[in-house]
Amino acid sequence: MSELDETWAFALAEAESRARRGGRTDIAKYLALRKSNDLLRKIGIDWLATTFQTIAGEANRSGGTIQISKEDGHRFHVGNATMVGSLLTLGVRVRKLSVEAGWPRTPRDGFICGGGLACANIKHLGLKHANEELLLFQSPHGAPRWMRHDKRGRQHEIHEAHLRKHIALLLSED
């Protein structure tokens, strides 16, 4: 967690405490929801990046030559909204796989269409057909889960096996 994220979390906790002490349960409930959603976002985004890094590391131990870089504070657009989060780049020779994930941080950044908590893009340089847009939702059990839409508009939950297919494509010679 960055220093700014820690400061933000502390400020939210303080505001929630003041609202509870002042009898403003509506504001306190909103801030508690915001804190909960931010935690789900962080866990979901960390899982996505860590899983890709773990799979790339396994591939490298088996002879792959994937170069890995990560950038925080990355800004990207989804529709008319601006997401702020992280960018993970995996590269092999001239091939690149980028994974950007984040959410709007300020009202000026807009909002996520479709009701998700966060957005992610998986992009293969030069292989547009393999690119995917993901939305992060809270499962009925309270855990974060990434979802994608197929060409027919059906939703599918993202699991590690699906991410392995992206790494396999990155490593393929085709």
Tens place of pLDDT per residue across the chain (174 aa): 456 566 766 776 777 677 778 877 777 777 677 788 888 999 999 999 999 999 999 999 998 899 999 999 999 999 899 999 999 999 998 899 999 999 998 889 888 887 899 999 999 998 999 999 999 999 888 889 999 987 788 889 999 999 999 999 999 865
Which pLDDT belongs to residue 23?
79
Q: Confirm whether 23 is domain-assigned.
A: no
Predicted pLDDT at 136 = 96
**pLDDT for residue 76:** 95
Domain region containing 53: 39-171
Is residue 9 in some structural domain? no
Residue 28 lies in a domain: no
Per the CB < 8 A criterion, the answer to whether 117 and 41 are in contact is yes
Return phi, psi of residue 165, to 5°.
Answer: -65, -35
In degrees, to the nearest 5, what angle opens at C-alpha 151 toward C-alphas 149 and 154?
45
Let me know if residue 12 belongs to a domain. no
- From the list 101, 94, 117, 103, the residue with the least C-alpha distance to 47 is 101
Residue 4 lies in a domain: no
Burial of 167 (0-12, 13-18, 19+ CB in 10 A): buried
Q: What is the four-CA torsion angle of 14, 19, 20, 22, rounded to 10 degrees?
A: 120
- Kindly state whether residue 165 falls inside one of the protein's structural domains: yes
User: Which amino acid is present at 14?
Assistant: E
167 domain-assigned: yes
In a domain, 83, yes or no: yes
Residue 84, token pair as written in the block: 């702020």
For residue 2, the Cα-to-chain-centroid distance in whole angstroms is 16
Q: Is the pTM of this model over 0.95?
A: no
Number of domains in the chain: 1
